[in-house]
Amino acid sequence: MQFVGIDVSAQTLVVHLQLPKGNCQRLTFANTWEGHQKLCRHLAGRPTRVALEATGLYSLDVSLALAQQPQVELMVVNPRSLRDFARADLRRSKTDAVDAQVLLEYSQRMRFQPWQPPAPEALELRAIGRRIADLTDLATQEKNRLHAARFVSSLGTVVCQDLEAHLQQLEDRLVALEREACRLIQRHPHLQQDFRLLVSTPGIATKSAIHLLGELAVLPKDMGPRQWVAHAGIDPRSHDSGSSVHKPAQMSRCGNVHLRRVLYMPALVAVRCDPHVRAFYDQLLARGKKPLQALVAVMRKLLHSLHGMLRHRSPFEGAKFRVLESSLTS
Protein backbone atom coordinates (compact mmCIF):
# COMPACT_ATOMS: atom_id res chain seq x y z
CA MET A 1 0.00 0.00 0.00
CA GLN A 2 1.20 3.50 -0.81
CA PHE A 3 0.68 6.40 1.58
CA VAL A 4 -0.13 9.94 0.48
CA GLY A 5 -0.41 13.27 2.28
CA ILE A 6 -2.18 16.17 0.58
CA ASP A 7 -2.06 19.79 1.71
CA VAL A 8 -5.07 21.65 0.33
CA SER A 9 -5.17 25.36 -0.40
CA ALA A 10 -7.55 27.49 -2.43
CA GLN A 11 -5.64 27.03 -5.70
CA THR A 12 -3.28 24.06 -5.35
CA LEU A 13 -2.90 20.57 -3.95
CA VAL A 14 0.60 19.76 -2.66
CA VAL A 15 0.97 15.99 -2.66
CA HIS A 16 3.62 13.92 -0.85
CA LEU A 17 3.70 10.34 -2.13
CA GLN A 18 5.77 7.58 -0.58
CA LEU A 19 7.64 5.58 -3.24
CA PRO A 20 8.20 1.80 -2.93
CA LYS A 21 11.85 2.16 -1.84
CA GLY A 22 10.95 4.55 0.98
CA ASN A 23 11.67 7.81 -0.82
CA CYS A 24 9.05 10.51 -1.16
CA GLN A 25 7.84 12.27 -4.28
CA ARG A 26 6.32 15.74 -4.16
CA LEU A 27 3.76 16.75 -6.77
CA THR A 28 1.49 19.74 -7.26
CA PHE A 29 -1.97 19.75 -8.82
CA ALA A 30 -4.48 22.50 -9.37
CA ASN A 31 -7.39 22.53 -6.94
CA THR A 32 -9.88 22.27 -9.81
CA TRP A 33 -11.97 19.50 -11.34
CA GLU A 34 -9.24 18.85 -13.91
CA GLY A 35 -6.57 18.78 -11.21
CA HIS A 36 -8.61 16.33 -9.15
CA GLN A 37 -8.93 13.99 -12.13
CA LYS A 38 -5.18 14.13 -12.79
CA LEU A 39 -4.51 13.30 -9.14
CA CYS A 40 -6.88 10.33 -9.24
CA ARG A 41 -5.25 9.00 -12.41
CA HIS A 42 -1.81 9.36 -10.83
CA LEU A 43 -2.89 7.35 -7.76
CA ALA A 44 -4.74 4.67 -9.74
CA GLY A 45 -3.40 1.13 -9.97
CA ARG A 46 -2.31 0.50 -6.37
CA PRO A 47 -4.05 0.43 -2.98
CA THR A 48 -3.57 3.90 -1.55
CA ARG A 49 -4.20 5.48 1.83
CA VAL A 50 -4.64 9.26 1.64
CA ALA A 51 -4.69 11.78 4.46
CA LEU A 52 -5.71 15.39 3.94
CA GLU A 53 -6.63 18.14 6.35
CA ALA A 54 -10.20 19.34 6.68
CA THR A 55 -10.12 22.86 5.22
CA GLY A 56 -13.81 23.53 4.75
CA LEU A 57 -15.03 23.99 1.20
CA TYR A 58 -11.53 23.95 -0.29
CA SER A 59 -11.06 20.26 0.56
CA LEU A 60 -14.62 19.07 -0.13
CA ASP A 61 -14.46 18.51 -3.91
CA VAL A 62 -11.11 16.72 -3.87
CA SER A 63 -12.35 14.54 -0.99
CA LEU A 64 -15.43 13.57 -2.98
CA ALA A 65 -13.30 12.80 -6.04
CA LEU A 66 -10.89 10.60 -4.08
CA ALA A 67 -13.72 8.81 -2.26
CA GLN A 68 -15.04 7.59 -5.62
CA GLN A 69 -11.80 5.76 -6.43
CA PRO A 70 -12.12 2.03 -5.61
CA GLN A 71 -8.53 1.54 -4.42
CA VAL A 72 -8.24 4.74 -2.38
CA GLU A 73 -8.84 4.88 1.37
CA LEU A 74 -9.35 8.48 2.47
CA MET A 75 -8.94 10.03 5.91
CA VAL A 76 -9.91 13.67 6.50
CA VAL A 77 -7.85 14.81 9.49
CA ASN A 78 -9.04 17.18 12.18
CA PRO A 79 -6.81 20.31 11.97
CA ARG A 80 -6.27 20.36 15.71
CA SER A 81 -5.14 16.74 15.74
CA LEU A 82 -2.72 17.42 12.90
CA ARG A 83 -1.31 20.50 14.62
CA ASP A 84 -0.68 18.57 17.82
CA PHE A 85 0.92 15.75 15.82
CA ALA A 86 3.31 18.22 14.17
CA ARG A 87 4.19 19.77 17.53
CA ALA A 88 4.89 16.36 19.02
CA ASP A 89 7.30 15.75 16.13
CA LEU A 90 8.99 19.12 16.85
CA ARG A 91 8.13 20.58 13.45
CA ARG A 92 9.15 24.23 13.59
CA SER A 93 8.29 25.30 10.04
CA LYS A 94 4.86 25.47 8.46
CA THR A 95 4.70 25.48 4.67
CA ASP A 96 2.51 23.63 2.19
CA ALA A 97 5.29 21.10 1.55
CA VAL A 98 5.91 20.55 5.27
CA ASP A 99 2.18 20.14 5.94
CA ALA A 100 1.91 17.54 3.16
CA GLN A 101 4.86 15.64 4.62
CA VAL A 102 3.26 15.74 8.09
CA LEU A 103 0.00 14.40 6.64
CA LEU A 104 1.90 11.57 4.97
CA GLU A 105 3.50 10.59 8.27
CA TYR A 106 0.14 10.97 10.03
CA SER A 107 -1.43 8.46 7.64
CA GLN A 108 1.37 5.97 8.40
CA ARG A 109 1.56 6.29 12.16
CA MET A 110 -1.90 7.19 13.45
CA ARG A 111 -5.10 5.17 13.67
CA PHE A 112 -6.89 5.27 10.34
CA GLN A 113 -10.43 6.67 10.34
CA PRO A 114 -12.08 6.34 6.91
CA TRP A 115 -14.06 9.28 5.59
CA GLN A 116 -17.52 8.55 4.24
CA PRO A 117 -18.87 10.97 1.62
CA PRO A 118 -22.22 12.48 2.67
CA ALA A 119 -25.25 12.56 0.41
CA PRO A 120 -25.44 15.61 -1.90
CA GLU A 121 -28.71 16.81 -0.37
CA ALA A 122 -27.15 16.65 3.12
CA LEU A 123 -24.19 18.75 1.99
CA GLU A 124 -26.52 21.30 0.40
CA LEU A 125 -28.68 21.51 3.53
CA ARG A 126 -25.61 21.97 5.71
CA ALA A 127 -24.39 24.79 3.47
CA ILE A 128 -27.77 26.53 3.68
CA GLY A 129 -27.89 26.12 7.46
CA ARG A 130 -24.43 27.58 7.92
CA ARG A 131 -25.27 30.48 5.61
CA ILE A 132 -28.37 31.20 7.68
CA ALA A 133 -26.21 31.20 10.82
CA ASP A 134 -23.70 33.60 9.22
CA LEU A 135 -26.42 36.03 8.11
CA THR A 136 -28.07 35.83 11.54
CA ASP A 137 -24.77 36.85 13.17
CA LEU A 138 -24.42 39.71 10.68
CA ALA A 139 -27.98 40.86 11.37
CA THR A 140 -27.25 40.88 15.11
CA GLN A 141 -24.18 43.05 14.53
CA GLU A 142 -26.20 45.48 12.43
CA LYS A 143 -28.93 45.67 15.06
CA ASN A 144 -26.32 46.55 17.67
CA ARG A 145 -24.88 49.25 15.39
CA LEU A 146 -28.36 50.67 14.76
CA HIS A 147 -29.11 50.71 18.48
CA ALA A 148 -25.89 52.65 19.13
CA ALA A 149 -26.37 55.02 16.18
CA ARG A 150 -29.82 56.10 17.40
CA PHE A 151 -28.24 57.48 20.58
CA VAL A 152 -25.80 59.72 18.68
CA SER A 153 -27.69 62.68 17.28
CA SER A 154 -24.61 64.12 15.55
CA LEU A 155 -24.58 61.23 13.06
CA GLY A 156 -27.77 62.43 11.41
CA THR A 157 -30.25 60.08 9.79
CA VAL A 158 -28.26 58.74 6.84
CA VAL A 159 -26.41 56.08 8.82
CA CYS A 160 -29.56 54.91 10.58
CA GLN A 161 -31.46 54.69 7.32
CA ASP A 162 -28.67 52.68 5.72
CA LEU A 163 -28.55 50.30 8.68
CA GLU A 164 -32.32 49.84 8.56
CA ALA A 165 -32.20 49.13 4.82
CA HIS A 166 -29.41 46.60 5.28
CA LEU A 167 -31.28 44.90 8.10
CA GLN A 168 -34.36 44.57 5.91
CA GLN A 169 -32.26 43.03 3.14
CA LEU A 170 -30.77 40.54 5.59
CA GLU A 171 -34.20 39.60 6.90
CA ASP A 172 -35.45 39.03 3.35
CA ARG A 173 -32.45 36.85 2.52
CA LEU A 174 -32.90 34.84 5.71
CA VAL A 175 -36.54 34.18 4.86
CA ALA A 176 -35.59 33.14 1.33
CA LEU A 177 -32.86 30.76 2.56
CA GLU A 178 -35.16 29.23 5.14
CA ARG A 179 -37.83 28.71 2.48
CA GLU A 180 -35.32 27.06 0.14
CA ALA A 181 -34.11 24.77 2.94
CA CYS A 182 -37.69 23.68 3.64
CA ARG A 183 -38.19 22.94 -0.07
CA LEU A 184 -35.03 20.85 -0.11
CA ILE A 185 -36.22 18.90 2.93
CA GLN A 186 -39.61 18.30 1.35
CA ARG A 187 -37.98 16.83 -1.79
CA HIS A 188 -36.23 14.10 0.21
CA PRO A 189 -38.42 11.84 2.38
CA HIS A 190 -35.64 10.82 4.78
CA LEU A 191 -34.80 14.46 5.50
CA GLN A 192 -38.51 15.24 5.90
CA GLN A 193 -38.95 12.47 8.48
CA ASP A 194 -35.88 13.55 10.44
CA PHE A 195 -37.02 17.18 10.35
CA ARG A 196 -40.41 16.29 11.84
CA LEU A 197 -38.72 14.39 14.65
CA LEU A 198 -36.38 17.29 15.42
CA VAL A 199 -39.16 19.88 15.67
CA SER A 200 -41.00 17.62 18.14
CA THR A 201 -38.26 18.46 20.65
CA PRO A 202 -38.82 21.41 23.04
CA GLY A 203 -36.64 24.34 22.04
CA ILE A 204 -36.13 23.23 18.42
CA ALA A 205 -38.10 25.25 15.87
CA THR A 206 -37.72 25.48 12.10
CA LYS A 207 -34.47 27.44 11.93
CA SER A 208 -32.73 25.36 14.59
CA ALA A 209 -33.99 22.14 12.99
CA ILE A 210 -32.61 23.18 9.59
CA HIS A 211 -29.19 23.89 11.07
CA LEU A 212 -29.18 20.75 13.25
CA LEU A 213 -30.35 18.47 10.46
CA GLY A 214 -27.71 19.86 8.10
CA GLU A 215 -24.93 19.12 10.59
CA LEU A 216 -26.25 15.69 11.62
CA ALA A 217 -27.21 14.41 8.16
CA VAL A 218 -23.60 14.46 6.94
CA LEU A 219 -22.36 12.24 9.80
CA PRO A 220 -21.73 8.53 9.17
CA LYS A 221 -24.73 6.36 9.99
CA ASP A 222 -22.73 4.08 12.27
CA MET A 223 -21.74 6.82 14.71
CA GLY A 224 -23.04 6.34 18.23
CA PRO A 225 -24.39 9.02 20.60
CA ARG A 226 -21.06 9.38 22.42
CA GLN A 227 -19.35 9.92 19.07
CA TRP A 228 -21.91 12.62 18.25
CA VAL A 229 -21.09 14.31 21.54
CA ALA A 230 -17.35 14.12 20.85
CA HIS A 231 -17.91 15.41 17.30
CA ALA A 232 -19.73 18.43 18.73
CA GLY A 233 -16.89 19.06 21.19
CA ILE A 234 -19.13 19.03 24.26
CA ASP A 235 -17.64 15.92 25.82
CA PRO A 236 -16.06 16.43 29.27
CA ARG A 237 -12.28 16.75 29.44
CA SER A 238 -10.68 15.66 32.71
CA HIS A 239 -7.40 17.06 34.03
CA ASP A 240 -5.92 14.91 36.81
CA SER A 241 -2.25 14.40 37.54
CA GLY A 242 -0.72 12.68 40.54
CA SER A 243 -2.18 13.42 43.95
CA SER A 244 -2.28 17.22 43.77
CA VAL A 245 -3.75 18.23 40.38
CA HIS A 246 -7.48 17.61 40.18
CA LYS A 247 -9.07 20.30 38.05
CA PRO A 248 -12.81 20.31 37.36
CA ALA A 249 -13.86 18.66 34.10
CA GLN A 250 -14.42 21.11 31.27
CA MET A 251 -15.97 20.99 27.82
CA SER A 252 -13.33 19.81 25.35
CA ARG A 253 -14.37 22.10 22.45
CA CYS A 254 -12.51 19.72 20.10
CA GLY A 255 -15.22 19.37 17.53
CA ASN A 256 -17.79 20.93 15.24
CA VAL A 257 -18.34 24.48 16.43
CA HIS A 258 -21.46 24.85 14.24
CA LEU A 259 -23.19 21.91 15.93
CA ARG A 260 -22.07 23.10 19.35
CA ARG A 261 -23.48 26.59 18.77
CA VAL A 262 -26.83 25.45 17.43
CA LEU A 263 -27.40 23.19 20.46
CA TYR A 264 -27.08 26.04 22.95
CA MET A 265 -30.39 27.87 22.44
CA PRO A 266 -32.57 24.71 22.14
CA ALA A 267 -31.06 23.46 25.42
CA LEU A 268 -31.70 26.82 27.09
CA VAL A 269 -35.31 26.96 25.87
CA ALA A 270 -35.93 23.32 26.83
CA VAL A 271 -34.76 24.03 30.38
CA ARG A 272 -37.27 26.86 30.62
CA CYS A 273 -40.22 25.15 28.91
CA ASP A 274 -40.07 21.39 29.51
CA PRO A 275 -40.59 20.19 33.11
CA HIS A 276 -38.56 17.00 32.60
CA VAL A 277 -35.56 18.86 31.19
CA ARG A 278 -35.93 21.43 33.98
CA ALA A 279 -35.89 18.64 36.58
CA PHE A 280 -32.71 17.23 35.04
CA TYR A 281 -31.14 20.71 35.11
CA ASP A 282 -32.21 21.37 38.72
CA GLN A 283 -30.84 18.00 39.80
CA LEU A 284 -27.41 19.01 38.47
CA LEU A 285 -27.57 22.34 40.29
CA ALA A 286 -28.44 20.53 43.50
CA ARG A 287 -25.32 18.40 43.06
CA GLY A 288 -23.16 21.52 43.03
CA LYS A 289 -22.83 22.12 39.30
CA LYS A 290 -22.64 25.70 38.06
CA PRO A 291 -25.47 26.88 35.78
CA LEU A 292 -23.28 26.79 32.66
CA GLN A 293 -21.98 23.31 33.52
CA ALA A 294 -25.53 22.09 33.97
CA LEU A 295 -26.58 23.65 30.65
CA VAL A 296 -23.72 21.92 28.82
CA ALA A 297 -24.84 18.64 30.39
CA VAL A 298 -28.33 19.34 29.03
CA MET A 299 -26.80 19.91 25.59
CA ARG A 300 -25.03 16.55 25.80
CA LYS A 301 -28.16 14.77 26.97
CA LEU A 302 -30.21 16.49 24.27
CA LEU A 303 -27.80 15.23 21.62
CA HIS A 304 -28.11 11.72 23.07
CA SER A 305 -31.88 12.06 22.83
CA LEU A 306 -31.75 13.25 19.22
CA HIS A 307 -29.59 10.27 18.29
CA GLY A 308 -32.11 7.87 19.77
CA MET A 309 -35.04 9.67 18.18
CA LEU A 310 -33.53 9.58 14.67
CA ARG A 311 -32.38 5.98 15.00
CA HIS A 312 -35.63 4.57 16.39
CA ARG A 313 -37.91 6.96 14.44
CA SER A 314 -39.71 8.16 17.58
CA PRO A 315 -40.62 11.72 18.66
CA PHE A 316 -39.29 13.40 21.77
CA GLU A 317 -40.53 11.99 25.06
CA GLY A 318 -39.83 14.21 28.05
CA ALA A 319 -40.31 11.37 30.52
CA LYS A 320 -37.21 9.63 29.09
CA PHE A 321 -35.07 12.70 29.64
CA ARG A 322 -33.39 11.45 32.80
CA VAL A 323 -29.88 10.85 34.02
CA LEU A 324 -28.48 7.79 32.26
CA GLU A 325 -24.85 7.77 33.32
CA SER A 326 -22.45 9.90 35.31
CA SER A 327 -20.47 10.91 32.21
CA LEU A 328 -23.35 13.12 31.14
CA THR A 329 -23.13 15.17 34.32
CA SER A 330 -19.38 15.30 34.87
Integer Cα distance of 25 and 329 in angstroms? 50
Contact between 103 and 52 under an 8 Å Cβ cutoff? The reply is yes
pLDDT in tens, 229-250: 988 988 877 656 666 665 666 7
Give me the residues paired with residue 12 across strands. Answer: 30
Would you state the pLDDT for residue 238?
65
The DSSP code sequence of 73-96 is EEEEE-HHHHHHHHHHTT-----H
Q: What is the DSSP letter of 320?
A: G
CA 220 to each of CA 8, 51, 95, 120, 215: distance values in angstroms, whole numbers, following the listed order:
23, 18, 32, 14, 11
Would you state the pLDDT for residue 120?
93
Integer Cα distance of 190 and 205 in angstroms? 18
Q: What is the pTM of this model?
A: 0.83
Would you state the pLDDT for residue 251?
74
Rg, the chain, Cα only: 23
State the amino acid at position 106 in one-letter form: Y
- H or E stretch covering 249: strand 245-251
pLDDT in tens, 175-231: 999 999 999 999 999 999 999 999 999 999 999 999 999 999 999 888 899 999 988
pLDDT averaged over the chain? Answer: 89
pLDDT in tens, 264-301: 999 999 999 999 999 999 999 999 989 999 999 999 99
